[in-house]
Chains A and B, each alone.
Chain A
Amino acid sequence: MKECMVRLIYCEMLGYESSFGYIHAIKLAQQGNLLEKRVGYLAVSLFLHENHELLLLLVNTVVKDLQSTNLVEVCMALTIVSQIFPREMIPAVLPLIEDKLQHSKEIIRRKAVQALYKFYVIAPNQVQHIHDKFRKALCDRDAGVMAASLHIYLQMIKENSSGYKDLTGCFVSILKQVVGGKLPIDFNYHSVPAPWLQIQLLRILGLLGKDDPRTSELMYDVLDESLRRAELNHNITYAILFECVQTIYTIYPKSELLEKAAKCIGKFVLSPKINLKYLGLKALTYVIQQDPNLALQHQMTIIECLDHPDPIIKRETLELLYRITNGQNVIVIVQKMLDYLKESREEYTIIKLVGKIAELAEKYAPDNEWFIQTMNAVFSVGGDVMHPDIPNNFLRLLAEGFDDGKEDNQLRIYAVQSYVALLGEEDALYPQKFLQVMSWVLGEYSSLVTDVDPEVILTKLHSLLKRTFVTSETKAWIMAAVTKLASRTSCSKTIDKVIQEFSNSLDTCMRQYAFELKHLCEDKTLMKNLLPFDASCNDMVVDASLSFLDGFVAEGLGRGAAPYKPHHQRQEEKLSREKALNFEPYGLSFVSSVSSSGVTGRQSPTGLSFGSDTSGNSAETGHKETNTLKLEGVRKLWGKEGCWIPGVSGTLSEQSRPNNCYVCVSGGSLLVGQVSDPPALRSDQVASLSEEDKEKQQLASTLFIGLGSNAGVSLMGKADTATQKFKRKSKINETRDGEEASDFQNTAASDFGPLLDTVPTNLEDCEGSIHTRLRKVSLCSSDTVEDNLAFETPQSLKKSGLDDRLSDSGLSRSSLFADSNIEIFQPSPSAQCERASKTPLVPSLPEELEKLTHSEVVELCQSDALALYLCKVWTDDSLLLTVFVSNKTTSALNAVNLMFEEAEPFQILESPTYQFPVIEAQSMEHCQKCVWMDKVCTQGILFGSVNYQSEMETRLEFSITLSLVDFIRPMEMTTEDFGKLWLSLSNDVKQNIKMSSSQDSLSAALNTLHQKLKLSIVDIIGNEGILACQLLPSVPCLLHCRTHSGMLALWFRSPCSALPDGLLYQCQKVMEESS
């Protein structure tokens, strides 16, 4: 049998389906002798996947083997568990595996930890309670067990690094011991002590030290030592060095280490070994944004790599260049990318590269001509495989334009001209997407071009329509273009021809278009109205209520037609007519309601089992309902009335409106001061170089231009990014343009020799290009303009702009702030005793929020100038985070930006940023953000930062831990509704938890859940209770509880699969805490 099984494995490996033998693999694992058993398990792990139904048959065997006295069998069982195991059967083996953690044999303990890792990956909630055992494994006397536990820690730290900062010292000392050679000799690989373990530890340290100076401090020493020890000339030491470098650049920087790491990267990049070169380039790509100087140092190597015969090296180099692209080197870099693109065949590469080129072109295009040419190349090479966003964005850009109408038109005219030329080429084949883009542009804008006869364009489009390679979708685009053109020409032979040809086309779509065109041509005024020029981005007013059909409907009803019923209503009625047996467990006696219940006759196994489970009680439920219903009083806090005064919500949205004004007032002057000479190019060097090298130098100078100015002070980097953002977001800004130009001149003037000939063109383009580069324009609202106005003279105008806005919305904001100011000086007593000693300012909630349930105010972070406090307010429809910013200095702070990082699992309603225009000295301002949880998880961290300008621009980072409970709200419903909803939900989770003596009665337990988790109690009957809650915005979760012999059986149901799991965990936690 074992031989057969090996052969079966062989068959499967060669690609022959052999599912007939799967069951025999399971049997072999169950019945065979030791070696056969192993092969059986092996076959199972190779054949089956995680959700395979046969896997359930294996559980029993695994449980048996785990209890075996034969260590080999235990080992095998643990191995299979850590490879593949059904999620829902974890509780069956978990206690057994936990026991194995104390086993005397190293291998058993190690494998048990590996199995727990698997459980953590597939069902983290199920192993929540054994985190302290992981810690024990980390401190195990055997290195192998400790190494196994690192996998769990890496995973956990990846998800939430802040929870494990206390272990940093532990990891550091382990790494120190490993590096110091304290492990047994057989852990060595080519005389390097446990290299893979070192790499794992370095990764963990990197995650822990990220953006955290205090934690990073702890690891500088050991990183230095790792760098020093790994000097042996062997591949594996390079692997360690690479990881070290990455860690050093990830954690809070320390200049000495950075220097060493940079040297290391240099060694890699310059190495003749190709694999090392690759690693070097990869490391360089990783660090380039932090340290552009490094790219300058290695620019010649990078140039060489760009022409390397190995396409993989080339590609990695392009990735590196992509990261350092700026307005000045974009032409060269994009050219290199296009060259590579033309050589590559693989679809995946093309899609990726095309996306990057399009992104760079949009962001940094120096002029119209170049932009259109580049996009043409993108469309013709990327063709139909590229991401659909690319053509869409391109068209939107053309349509929306920028502010300067002349500039827009030039771009459009150029596009039209280039497309006319492209279509003029004989026998050229273009991808469908490109043809679609062309036809749209020609249809919309060809009338801008005066020297091309529309007839010529029409003829070209007409000939395209007849080509066979053009798909029907593209034909539809072309037809639309023809129609648009027709509206702008008086009469045309080609149009008549098109109408004639396609009026009897076999393609019904085309025929319809042709007819439409024909009718439109007969009524020119209608046509002009229907197809106005350049109105593609004007909003259309659509009557969504279809009120113009009212007359028609009334007439129909008058003639005796049946009124319209929505789909769900019809469904319900149909079901209620078919009712025969009622399986509904709750509300049995409500005869009047049965007709609308809509669940009758449903015979799904869940419905049945539920019915049988509780049928005895449910009959009672119905009868008792009216007199013994214990509706626990849900606090009115969550009621609709207790929540919002309408005026307040208005103010809120006003406050948190997106603020596009990035502060970079001093950007221009900063740039002037900080342009520094790039170190690499010296005139004497140039003289001694050969012709070929000179070429390379030239290339280098064009590639790395613009990096020099970045290389100055680190502060500079920040100012630069600020201007970048500004460019993309704002629409017009004349002052900015001036600065931009001077910026160009400055960099250009101070740049090195070979570049000088490129400077004039740059300058010429400069004027024209600025607008083109203001591309990713978000449609501007009146605010943005206001902000920009304010920007010109930050102090005075901003205030007036603000006032304008306030008067616009008809709200007196100053009065609102006055409110909060008053409260600041009358702090609530509880907060006072805690904080009064620390800060003169004590945050407290504005009155209207004070009424709602809220958390205590906690400090988020502080610097010399600012302190941030947070208060969570649990409103009805969201979690309201109120952030208080207090200015501790003696002068007012202008433009303090608060920014939240939008990341899973949270969703911030409205904008994630907020700007305080001014915070007076020694005072406090606050802002509010509504947050929802998008993806269910027990706990998540919301990161954010605050920027402000005191002597220099400073950034303070903070994080807020939000738990699932923050987003849970009670859901009021009747028992009857509960029953209905219960049956319609599919995801369920059941679990028994122990009840402690203090909460032995059901109502006590439910009260705990009600108070701590905000679940609303719907009904309690005998030893059963039902509760309901919802995850914001409106995902319901129902809970059915039942007590029996000291246990509380919880049964959750929800339309969201992760929610019951998450809630179950919270319930367990709450019950444990309260006992």
Chain B
Amino acid sequence: MIKFFLMVNKQGQTRLSRYYEHVEINKRTMLEAEVVKTCLSRSKDQCSFIEYKDFKLVYRQYAALFIVVGINETENEMAVYELIHNFVEVLDKYFSRVIMFNLDRVHIILDEMVLNGCIVETNRNRILAPLLVLDKVAES
């Protein structure tokens, strides 16, 4: 099970957050701050999986951006690690190399991929299909 999905930059600012279990708002900021701190403290040659409290963090760094996913015991760390990359590839395809920060669109993409903490779709074309339709409608 995936517990949360975070995108954070090196300065520790949250760029996107999605929780699959309800967390109070003030607890979220605290959690995010701690998570960023743990991720930043790790060097490149250290393991990308961190045990943190009663769950695990899987993180990946893209330039100045960290993507951190919180998972529980039952999830396969490596599969999540690659899911992050899949997500980034989808973003890459949609935003054609420039991630203009469209918060709503990134959320829509993420919602197609992960629902209720389960990985539901990983096929790039299918992930983007609903969003592309929306864009087409908006244009016309």
Contacts and interface: CB of A to CB of B under 8 A. Distances in A.
B123 to A, nearest CB: 5
B123 A186 contact: yes
Interface string B62-81: 00000000000000111101
A17 B29 CA distance: 11
A42 interface: yes
A239 B82 contact: yes
19 contacts: A6-B104, A12-B25, A46-B18, A49-B22, A72-B133, A79-B115, A82-B115, A82-B116, A107-B129, A151-B118, A194-B122, A200-B119, A235-B81, A236-B82, A275-B81, A278-B47, A279-B77, A312-B51, A348-B52
Given A189-B82, A235-B81, A275 B120 contact: no
A976 interface: no
B108 A42 contact: yes
Interface in B2-18: 13-14, 16-18
A34 B103 contact: no
Contacts of A279: 77-78
B20 to A, nearest CB: 9
Given A6-B103, A144-B121, A239-B76, A38 B29 contact: no
A235 B52 CA distance: 23
A763 interface: no
Interface string A158-194: 0000000000000000000000000000110100001
Nearest to A7: B103
Contacts of B25: 12, 15-17
B53 interface: yes
Contacts, number: 140
Interface stretch (A113-121, A320-328, A847-855, A895-903): A113-121
A79 B126 contact: no
Given A38-B108, A236-B79, 11 more contacts: A6-B103, A12-B25, A35-B134, A35-B137, A82-B115, A107-B126, A186-B123, A196-B83, A197-B122, A275-B77, A312-B50
A315 interface: yes
A139 B120 CA distance: 17
Interface string A238-267: 110011000000000000000000000000
A39 interface: yes
B82 A195 contact: yes
A428 to B, nearest CB: 31
Contacts of B61: none
Contact of B14 (A14, A110, A114): A14
A148 interface: yes
Interface in A469-506: none
A870 to B, nearest CB: 33
B77 A278 contact: yes
Which of B104, B125, B133 has its CB near the most chain A CB atoms (within 10 A)?
Answer: B104
A38 B134 contact: yes
Given A10-B103, A42-B111, A195-B82, A34 B123 contact: no
Which of A15, A34, A107, A187 has its CB near the most chain B CB atoms (within 10 A)?
Answer: A15
Nearest to B116: A118
A75 B82 contact: no
A626 to B, nearest CB: 54
B96 interface: no
A310 B47 contact: yes
A502 B29 CA distance: 47
Given A9-B103, A236-B78, A275 B116 contact: no
B116 to A, nearest CB: 6
Nearest to B58: A275
Nearest to B34: A346
Given A196-B119, A275-B48, A34 B137 contact: yes
A16 B108 CA distance: 22
B53 A348 contact: yes
A352 to B, nearest CB: 9
Given A13-B17, A275-B48, A312-B49, A114 B122 contact: no
Interface in B30-70: 45-54
A1072 interface: no
A274 interface: yes
Contacts of B123: 144, 186-187, 194
B134 to A, nearest CB: 5
B130 A72 contact: yes
Nearest to B38: A346
Contacts of B53: 348
A993 B118 CA distance: 34
Contacts of B47: 274-275, 277-278, 310, 312-313
A417 interface: no
Contact of A195 (B79, B107, B137, B138): B79
Contacts of B121: 110, 144, 147
Q: What 9 pairs between A and B have smallest CB-CB spacing?
A: A239-B78, A15-B29, A49-B22, A239-B79, A236-B82, A310-B46, A274-B47, A348-B53, A35-B138
A274 B111 contact: no
A122 to B, nearest CB: 10
A671 B34 CA distance: 51
Interface string A96-131: 000000000001001000100110010000000000
A277 B82 CA distance: 16
B40 to A, nearest CB: 15
A274 B43 CA distance: 12
A148 B79 CA distance: 17
Interface string A270-305: 000011011100100000000000000000000000
Interface in A525-545: none
B78 A242 contact: yes
Given A34-B138, A310-B47, A39 B22 contact: no
B49 A278 contact: yes
Contacts of A239: 76, 78-79, 81-82
Contacts of B115: 79, 82-83, 114, 118
A145 B111 CA distance: 17
Nearest to A6: B104
A50 interface: yes
Contacts of A274: 45-48
A12 B32 CA distance: 13
A243 B76 contact: yes
Contacts of A1032: none
B52 to A, nearest CB: 8
Contact of A189 (B54, B76, B122, B134): B122
A303 B53 CA distance: 25
Contacts of A79: 111, 115
Contacts of B46: 274, 309-310, 312
Contacts of A243: 76, 79
A469 to B, nearest CB: 28
Interface string A135-162: 0000000001001100100000000000
A998 B87 CA distance: 58
B66 to A, nearest CB: 15
A607 to B, nearest CB: 32
Given A151-B118, A310-B46, A312-B47, A235 B126 contact: no
Nearest to B16: A13
A809 B48 CA distance: 64
A186 B126 CA distance: 9
Interface in A1-54: 2, 6, 9-10, 12-17, 34-35, 38-39, 42, 45-46, 49-50
A199 interface: yes
Contacts of B104: 2, 6, 9, 38-39, 42
Given A189-B82, A195-B79, A235-B82, A148 B134 contact: no
Contact of A151 (B82, B111, B120): B120
Contacts of A38: 104, 108, 134
A872 B111 CA distance: 49
A678 B60 CA distance: 40
A6 B107 CA distance: 11
A275 B54 CA distance: 20
Contacts of B138: 34-35
